[in-house]
Amino acid sequence: MLAIVGGTASGKSTLAQALALHRPTAVTLIHLDDFYIPVHEPHRGVRTLSATGAETLDWNDPGSIDEDAAAAALEAAATSGQHRIVVVEGLFALALPKIATQATWRIYVHAPDDIRLAASSCARSRSSTRTHCSPCATTCSAAETATRNTSPPPGIGPISYSTERCRQRTC
């Protein structure tokens, strides 16, 4: 199992999807974002107050993820025999013991805060005139860091990106 972690908008999901696209028959993906406790279940997860003062799920706390459900999905994927590697990506992939203990490989995606902020802003923006931000630059930086600092799992092979080419794109 490969765990991909990093800050918000650092390129974790994009890197994981690139691995799956590169070797679709070898890789299966598990996105920890799919395992957050449902907001309508007030007795589960970690709660915080929103800007309006309403109680809401704390998306920045690993206790807000259904670790048992995520571990069950990981176990099912790992024992299915359908793929050579399971990739789990998410902010808390290594903070959840039932996930972290199964990680054979670990990639920390580092992207500078200004790039992450730009990527996050672009993702939220609905404007068609965005010209000063590039989420793909985050992905490129993340992928280059990952391929430079770790060996890829067997059967996956290296994935390379051109950071400069990506930085020249717009959203």
Rounded Cα distance, 120 and 135, in Å: 8
List, as one string, the DSSP characters of 16-73: HHHHHHHSTTTEEEEEGGGGBPPTT-TTSS-EEE-TTS-EEE-TTSGGGB-HHHHHHH
pLDDT tens figures, 35-70: 999 888 888 899 999 899 988 889 889 999 999 999
Q: Is 86 helix (H, G, I), strand (E, B) or coil?
A: strand
Beta strands 27-31 and 85-89, pairing class:
parallel
Predicted structure pTM score: 0.69
Least confident window among 61-75, 83-97, 106-120, 143-157: 143-157
Contacts of 53 (CB under 8 A, 6+ apart): none
Token pair, residue 72, equals 């069950």
- CATH for the 2-167 domain, from 2.115.10, 3.30.750, 3.30.160, 3.40.50: 3.40.50
Rounded Cα distance, 93 and 111, in Å: 17
Structural domain spans, the chain = 2-167
